[in-house]
């Protein structure tokens, strides 16, 4: 029988929510890694038991965790449970080693980016925001990190190598941190063109590689951002999230700091599709699993007020790829709700009907088993939710 497993990263640990295909009754496990900030967990599309997790702390830095049994047990890759020392004495604890590649052969010099006060600041690794497992190989996984860069592991997370062509793109001095830091938070792997990768960085914009990560080009034509000196600059935009219609990989959607946008040409050009949204500020955007023009956003009041308008938590759905939006409120609080929904905190399953999930900074995780028509909380009182991913189990 089909089912779903929802992977929730929070400010104080990770939680796994499991249900059968009806998505009515849930089993909750956690907190895993209690007390740690869990920025993101995501399962391999080709091995549902393989899950990667980003565990981070202001005190102890970055840790990568991996499960090979669907989240029941975890270990740091390269350091299996119960084994603390390699037989040959060689140190193996490199699963959390994210060092920018500055080598002459494959690297790029460690340069600077804009700091909050406008001065230049050196690149410094802080944490992994997003883990994107390969669509084909369970041992290959990509990591989007702060300060912005893209890393990849091809050995199940034991070691990591940077795609330095992105950080070395040359526009780095114009990139700047958003309020959350200068993070590479979105990684989209094209399901058809295996050499194509999309990433998004706050605040630099969206970038695309067509050669499997070696070289990158900004794809921000059509974006307009009033908070940078040239609103239509090539880079500098605070892209909050991009989502791809997997059945039509050229079709992308974007939630920018302000504005919701759409691209029909894999990001070469973008058009605003905010339409009748009550506010087009927000963080999340996602696409229905089976309908490439059905998309979801959660409008947030403004960049200075990170909560829903009028205290009403509303998901907006467009069935026309944007411009015309319908508010979805059934089962969501419609008074005194002042939570936020962060950029990695929405996901969809691939059941029929498509399930839609999102988590809030108030610790609620909501599920709609009917593509957004109705909603119910799975849990109400978790720590602030950073990320939500869902695995469809068959």
Partner 1 sequence: MIRVLLPPHLRALARVKGEVTVEVTGTPSVLSVLDALEAQYPMLEGTIRDHATRQRRPFLRFFACAEDLSHDPPETPLPEEVVNGKEPLLVVGAIAGG
Residue ranges that bind partner 1, judged by CB under 8 A: 35-36, 57-63, 76, 78-79, 81-82, 84-86, 89, 91-94, 96-100, 125
To the nearest whole angstrom, how small is the minimum distance from the Cβ of residue 125 to partner 1?
7
Q: Which is nearer to partner 1, 96 or 220 (CB)?
A: 96
How many other C-beta atoms lie within 10 A of the C-beta of residue 269?
A: 15
Per residue, the 3-state secondary structure of 274-314, as one string, reads CCCCCCCECCCEEECCCCCCCEEECCECCCCCCCCHHHCCC
Instruction: For Cα atoms 110, 139, 287, give the angle at the middle one, nearest 5 degrees.
Output: 85
Burial class of residue 278 (count of CB atoms within 10 Å of its CB; 0-12, 13-18, 19+)? middle
To the nearest whole angstrom, how small is the minimum distance from the Cβ of residue 58 to partner 1?
6
Q: Report d(CA 57, CA 122) in Å as an integer.
A: 21
Q: Which is nearer to partner 1, 72 or 380 (CB)?
A: 72
To the nearest whole angstrom, how small is the minimum distance from the Cβ of residue 174 to partner 1?
24
| CB neighbour list of residue 242: distance below 8 Å, 6 or more residues apart | 186, 188, 198, 200, 206, 252, 253, 254, 255, 267, 285
To the nearest whole angstrom, how small is the minimum distance from the Cβ of residue 84 to partner 1?
5
Q: Which is nearer to partner 1, 78 or 213 (CB)?
A: 78
To the nearest whole angstrom, how small is the minimum distance from the Cβ of residue 75 to partner 1?
8
Q: Report d(CA 59, CA 379) in Å as an integer.
A: 29
Q: Report d(CA 115, CA 47) in Å as an integer.
A: 40
To the nearest whole angstrom, how small is the minimum distance from the Cβ of residue 53 to partner 1?
13
Q: Which is nearer to partner 1, 97 or 319 (CB)?
A: 97
To the nearest whole angstrom, how small is the minimum distance from the Cβ of residue 172 to partner 1?
18
To the nearest whole angstrom, how small is the minimum distance from the Cβ of residue 188 to partner 1?
28
Q: Which is nearer to partner 1, 33 or 283 (CB)?
A: 33
Q: Report d(CA 226, CA 170) in Å as an integer.
A: 23
To the nearest whole angstrom, how small is the minimum distance from the Cβ of residue 281 to partner 1?
27
Q: Report d(CA 377, CA 366) in Å as an integer.
A: 4
The alpha carbon of 130 is separated from its chain's Cα centroid by a whole number of angstroms, namely 5
Q: Which is nearer to partner 1, 80 or 231 (CB)?
A: 80
CA atoms within 13 A on the CB side of 135: 12
Which candidate, 328, 344, 337, places its Cα nearest to that of 305? 337
Q: Which is nearer to partner 1, 64 or 388 (CB)?
A: 64
To the nearest whole angstrom, how small is the minimum distance from the Cβ of residue 134 to partner 1?
24
Q: Which is nearer to partner 1, 126 or 319 (CB)?
A: 126
Q: Which is nearer to partner 1, 89 or 304 (CB)?
A: 89
Q: Report d(CA 292, CA 124) in Å as an integer.
A: 38
Question: What are 289-292's contacts with CB under 8 Å, separation 24+?
Answer: 289/246, 289/348, 289/349, 289/350, 289/351, 289/354, 290/247, 290/350, 290/352, 290/354, 291/319, 291/354, 292/245, 292/246, 292/247, 292/248, 292/251, 292/321
Q: Which is nearer to partner 1, 71 or 308 (CB)?
A: 71
């Amino acid at each position: 029988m089909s089912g779903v497993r929802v992977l929730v990263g929070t400010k104080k640990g990770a939680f796994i929510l499991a249900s059968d295909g009806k998505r009515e009754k849930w089993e909750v496990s956690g907190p895993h890694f209690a007390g740690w900030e869990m920025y993101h967990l995501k399962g391999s599309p080709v091995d549902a038991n393989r899950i990667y997790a980003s565990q981070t702390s202001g005190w102890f830095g970055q840790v990568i965790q991996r499960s090979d049994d669907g989240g029941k047990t975890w270990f740091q890759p390269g350091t299996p449970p119960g084994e603390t020392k390699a037989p040959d004495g060689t140190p193996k604890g490199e699963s959390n080693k994210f060092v920018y590649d500055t080598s002459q052969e494959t690297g790029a010099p460690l340069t600077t980016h804009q700091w909050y006060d406008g001065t230049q600041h050196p690149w410094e690794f802080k944490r992994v925001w997003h883990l994107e497992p390969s669509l084909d190989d369970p041992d290959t996984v990509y990591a989007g990190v702060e300060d912005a860069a893209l890393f990849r592991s091809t050995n199940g997370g034991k070691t990591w190598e940077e795609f330095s062509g992105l950080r070395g793109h040359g526009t780095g001095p114009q990139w700047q941190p958003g309020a959350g830091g200068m993070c590479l938070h979105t990684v989209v792997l094209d399901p058809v063109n295996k050499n194509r990768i999309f990433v998004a960085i706050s605040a630099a914009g969206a970038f695309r590689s067509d050669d499997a990560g070696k070289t990158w080009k900004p794809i921000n034509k059509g974006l307009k951002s009033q908070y940078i000196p040239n609103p239509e600059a090539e880079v500098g935009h605070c892209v909050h999230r991009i989502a791809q219609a997997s059945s039509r990989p050229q079709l992308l959607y974007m939630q920018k700091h302000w504005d919701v946008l759409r691209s029909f040409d894999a990001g070469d050009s973008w058009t605003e599709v905010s339409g009748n949204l009550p506010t087009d500020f927000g963080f999340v955007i996602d696409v229905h699993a089976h309908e490439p023009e059905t998309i979801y956003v959660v409008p947030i009041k403004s960049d200075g007020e990170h909560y829903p308008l009028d205290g009403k938590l509303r998901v907006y759905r467009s069935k026309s790829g944007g411009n015309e939006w319908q508010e979805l409120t059934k089962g969501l609080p419609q008074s005194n709700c002042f939570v936020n929904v962060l950029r990695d905190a929405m996901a969809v399953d691939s059941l029929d009907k498509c399930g839609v999930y999102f988590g809030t900074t108030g610790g609620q995780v909501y599920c709609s088993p009917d593509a957004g028509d109705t909603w119910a909380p799975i849990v109400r009182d978790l720590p602030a939710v950073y990320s939500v991913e869902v695995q469809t189990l068959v």
